[in-house]
Amino acid sequence: MEFKDGRKYIGNFTNGSYSGQGLLLLSDGRTYEGEWKNDLPNGFGTQSNPDGTIYTGAWKDGKYDGQGTLTTADGGSYTGAWKDDVPHGMGTLTKPDGSKFTGEFRNGKAVGEGVLVTPDGKETKVSM
């Protein structure tokens, strides 16, 4: 189905709302393919953005929530737990240079103890 604002949706509807499996293509180049409930991503899906950022994972009420991976165009990524669109729980943050931090995140910030791995493979226990 094509809308006046340029959106295109291919998928299931329930009571006029996106529901079940579907693909949404927005006029600005963003896409979402996956599960829907009440017009919002809910369940498992993938969002791709024109800047090269891609999120694949769990969604709740239109937000990243549960296990997922966000990859940026510069090669950085975060894989782990999400809540309300931010890293929250155990995860691994990888920077474009290849360095990695594995540990706990709360509200998008690393907290507590974790392991930092440098691009040359050296591991160090760190406390945030």
Q: Return the structure tokens found at 92.
A: 């691994």
Instruction: Name the pTM for this structure.
Output: 0.94
Say whether both 43 and 85 belong to one domain: no
Tell me, yes or no, whether 79 lies in a domain: yes
Task: Residue 28: give the domain boundaries.
Answer: 1-50
What CATH number did the domain enclosing 74 receive? Answer: 3.90.930.1
Torsion sign (Cα): 85, 86, 89, 92: positive
Say whether both 31 and 66 belong to one domain: no
**Overall domain count for the chain:** 2
CA distances in angstroms from 7 to 3, 28, 29, 47, 107, listed in the order given: 5, 9, 10, 15, 32
| Alpha-carbon Rg for the chain in angstroms | 17
Please check the confidence at residue 128 and state whether its pLDDT lies above 90.
no
Q: How far apart are CA 66 and CA 72, in angstroms?
A: 19
Q: Return the structure tokens found at 26.
A: 């927005």
Q: Residues 21-79: pLDDT tens digits?
A: 999 999 999 999 999 999 999 999 999 999 999 999 999 999 999 999 999 999 999 99
